[in-house]
Structure 1
Amino acid sequence: MSSPTINTGGDKITEVAPPSKWHDTFVRITQGNWLISVLAVVLALIVGGIMIAATDERVQSASVYFFARPGDTFAAIWQSVSGAYTALFRGSIYNFNAPDFARGIRPFTETLTFATPLIAAGLGVALAFRIGMFNIGGRGQMLMASAGAGWIAFGFDLPFGLHMLLAVVVGMLCGAVWGGIAGLLKARTGAHEVIVTIMLNYVAFYLISWMLRTPGLLQAPGSSNPKSPAMKETAIFPGLLGPGYNLHFGFILVIIATVVVWWLLTRSSLGFKFRAVGENPNAARVAGIDVKNMYVYGMLIAGALAGLAGVNQVLGTITTGFTAGIDAGIGFDAITVALLGRSTPWGTFAAGILFGAFKAGGFAMQAGEQIPIEIVTVVQSLIVLFIAAPPLVRTIFFLPSPERDKRRREKARAKELKAEVKADEEVTA
């Protein structure tokens, strides 16, 4: 990708410009080695443990007489960090203190519930990454989808099933249109999608805020609060495991969305074009791919996926009515999920579950060990930092550099060829 290539077609020779350094760096970050992602999580947990120990009162008290009795400090550090991460496990995977298995497994179902919108929005960001676009507009796409799905859910009387389906479709369409605006502007005017999507986030937020304060639009009748009416029962996602659990049908929709995105990127001609544009838009253009249309199509689909996250919030989580803060930061967390998942559908799915565990277990850490919930946010931020700095991760874990390995292999191959040539010359002589 660092040197020009030549495309020959008949008598015409066309030189293909290499992608920019920024584009090359973007591809390396978003589609790097999965091992870097795993090690980034490990590093973030280690740094998080240091922060937990540093802010713990028991550790601070024991550190006063560290040189007299260092064992007390180390014991306090172990109790603090192990207690916090044990609480994280109990709050997100399985609670060993529960009286039976049904209650013990409930934390994992909460993890899946939190992960559902994260996976959907993460898929929208990941798909845009594969086309070489940075979709920061997940928040706006979620808000518009929430408004569309919510309006159908509380404003119409339809049979169960049809009502829910119509709300999902309308919500995803609203998200697709909002994402498609950014794709269209980039394709037709060259406007950078980062700037456009950030601005569209603000437009969506203030637009929804106004609609929630306006009677006859999204505001609940007879209320002065900026909140929508409750969703009707016929539009709400049904539960998957019964009344004692919050996991709902939205998780099934997210699994279907993951499979569809996987098929789209790996088995369809449109997905091949997406990946070609993401790798090198100049070469894709020379090969006959309409790059501008790929930007529009990609952002339409990415917006629909982020819209599915907004639909999940309205029909599966906040069914009593929503406010302008219904996105709950998921649109920005989705960027981290997509980065950790290396812009692959199943990688994003796994990363979404991991971050869902952070959210579910973070509350257990706060309640059981008095650990500030902001520690979990710091861990998530550190994951992004380490993913964006692969050389740092490789240096810390003494991993070889891919470029160094490549040069070593080239040198070894050159030596082999030199030895073969020398042997041929001796045989000829």
Structure 2
Amino acid sequence: MSTQTGYMSKEPLLRVVKRAEKPTRQIMLLRAEALVFALVAGGVFILLIGYNPFEIYGTILSGAFRSKMAIQATVKVMIPLLISSLGVTLAFKMKFWNIGAEGQIIAGAICASYFALYHSSWNHVLLVTVMFLAGIVGGGLWGLIPALFRVKWGTNETLFTLMLNYIALHVVNFLRDGPWKDPGSQGFPKIARFDKNAALDKLLGVQIGWVVALALAALVLFYLRSTKHGYEISVVGESSDTARYAGMDVKKIVLRTMFLSGAVCGIAGMVQATGSDITLTNAVAGGVGFTAIIVAWLSRLNPVTIVIVSFLFSVLEKGSSVVQSSFGLSTDCADVLQAVILFFVLGCEFFIRYGFVVRKKGGAA
């Protein structure tokens, strides 16, 4: 009796429990309600800082679509976000917490930039192809490092991949200040702008990275749903023990999948450096790798939904920048507005899957 009493006394006042699966219609209704609450909460914030919420929201939408140039800019924001979201999805499906998309983007950009800087005289098609492959290899190898340590020594992949982000960032700083420094840079050191021959071509006024991104979305969808490797990823994600019992080589699957996850993120770095920035900077990832994690989870790791959510995020990002310039708002205000909206949307996803149980009197929940 005393043991039972002691056990109950240790039971927390509030527990998080997993909910039963809700019908799709109910989930969609909850998400719609969350979006409404997000807009209302964001409107309250806008009122508190002295602006008209309807005017601000209207500017966000018009800022993303008001002209052909604005639409092109929105698509440019979407490209690296969509690609890197697809990259982390591969790892997350396997329950491998790849928080290193930023570093993998940078690694892919570094490898592609080498050829853009030192082999710009090659045939254009050959050069772009080699840069594309270099981005794949660079990002893939950067993603493979934590996977190797995980399967061999059981290291924590969350911390490992996170720390590799900063190493990759400092590699860019080293290259910028040392071997790749532009001799003509005045004041602050920088890496030279790429030759026109090393820049990605444009289609409909936007660098062809958007075609690459959509093609990758289709490939990742096919890979996860229609291939043996995709099935193995799902099984390992559900239970490593079950995968081993079924005769699967779990270590091989982890290594292969993390290489692919990093490779896709490396493509995002290559596309950003050679298609949008036309040079290599320490802002080539620009936080996209972390936003990609949110996009992937909001989309429930579904490549089709990732395309839609990435687009909505890009509209919010581009529209917020127009709000800053049009109303003189600081970057912090725009970031707070985005955070308020995301808070409600992400909170909705949490309550769809989980709920709180309060301990009843006497210790029973």
Bin for the TM-score computed over the shorter chain: 0.7 to 0.9
The separation in 2 between residues aligned to 1:391 and 1:114, in whole angstroms, is 24
Aligned to 2:136: 172
CA distance in 1, matches of 2:338, 2:254: 29
Residue identity matched to 1:155: Y
The answer for the alignment partner of 1:231 in structure 2 is 194
Contact 1:48 1:375 (C-alpha < 8 Å) held by counterparts: no
Match of 2:360 in 1: none
Q: Contact 1:264/1:271 (CA < 8 Å) preserved in 2?
A: yes
Matched, 1:301 2:257: no
Q: Distance in 1 between matches of 2:29 and 2:292?
A: 20
Q: Which amino acid aligns with 2:238?
A: E
Rounded Cα–Cα distance in structure 2 between residues aligned with 1:87 and 1:229: 36
Cα displacement string for residues 258-290 of structure 1 (whole angstroms, at most 9, x for unaligned residues): 111001000100000101111222222222222
Q: Equivalent residue for 1:112?
A: 75
Match of 2:8 in 1: none
Which residue of 1 is the match for residue 148 of structure 2?
184
- The answer on 1:219 being equivalent to 2:181 is yes
Higher relative contact order (CA 8 A, sep 6+): 2
Within the candidate set 272, 287, 291, 1:329 is matched to 287
The aligned residue for residue 363 of structure 1 is 321
Deviations along 1:205-263, whole A, 9 cap, x unmatched? 11221122113xx2223447432111121221112124xxxx21011011111111001
Deviations 1:167-194 (CA, angstroms, capped at 9, x unpaired): 1110121001001111111111111110
Cα distance, 1:174–1:34 mapped onto 2, change above 3 Å: farther
Matched, 1:143 2:112: no
Separation of aligned partners in 2, 1:53 and 1:372: 15
For residues 193 and 40 of structure 1, do their structure 2 counterparts lie closer, same or farther at Cα, with a shift above 3 Å needed?
farther
Task: State the 1:106 CA deviation.
Answer: 3.1
1:388 CA displacement? 5.1
SS in 2 for 1:148: helix
Post-superposition Cα deviations, 1:138-176, rounded to whole Å, max 9, x if no partner, equal 111111111111111121021111111111110121001
Q: 1:392 to 1:179 in 2, by over 3 A?
A: closer
Q: What is the match of residue 423 of structure 1?
A: none
Which has the greater radius of gyration? 1
Find 2:212's aligned residue among 241, 247, 253.
Answer: 253
Assess, with a 3 A threshold, how the Cα gap between structure 1 residues 34 and 175 changes in structure 2: closer, same or farther.
farther
Distance (Å, rounded) in 2 between the aligned partners of 1:302 and 1:367: 36
* Cα distance in 2 for residues equivalent to 1:195 and 1:137: 9
Structure 2 counterpart SS, 1:234: helix
Q: CA deviation at 1:108?
A: 2.2
Distance 1:213 1:401 in 2: 49
The structure 2 residue matched to 1:350, chosen from 308, 331, 337, is 308
Structure 2 vs 1, CA of residues 132 and 180 (structure 1 numbering), >3 Å: closer, same or farther? same
User: In the superposition, relative to structure 1, how do residues 182 and 380 fare at CA in structure 2: closer, same or farther (>3 Å)?
Assistant: farther
Partner of 1:158: 122
Contact 1:49-1:81 at 8 Å conserved across structures: yes
Q: Secondary structure of 1:161's match?
A: helix
Post-superposition CA distance 1:298-357 (Å, at most 9, x none): 1111101111111121111111x3322221111111111112221111111111111111
TM-score by length of 2: 0.83
Change (3 A) 1:392 1:237: closer
Q: 1:132 aligns with which of 60, 77, 95?
A: 95
Counterpart for residue 46 of structure 2: 52
- The DSSP-based 3-state class of the residue aligned with 1:327 is coil
TM-score computed with the length of structure 1 as normaliser: 0.71
1:99 alignment counterpart: none
Once residues 190 and 227 of structure 1 are traced to their aligned partners in structure 2, the CA distance between those partners, rounded to angstroms, is: 39
- Number of equivalent positions: 332
- Separation of aligned partners in 2, 1:132 and 1:35: 28
CA distance in 2, matches of 1:83, 1:153: 44
Question: Separation in 1 of the partners of 2:74 and 2:185?
Answer: 34
What are the ranges of 5 or more consecutive residues in structure 1 without an aligned counterpart?
1-23, 59-79, 96-103, 395-399, 404-429
3-state SS of 2:155 partner: coil
- 8 Å contact from structure 1 (residues 226, 323) kept in 2: no
Query: 1:69-125, CA deviations, whole angstroms, 9 ceiling, x for partnerless residues?
Result: xxxxxxxxxxx10000100011113x2xxxxxxxx3432222111000000111111
2:327 is matched by which residue type in structure 1?
Answer: E
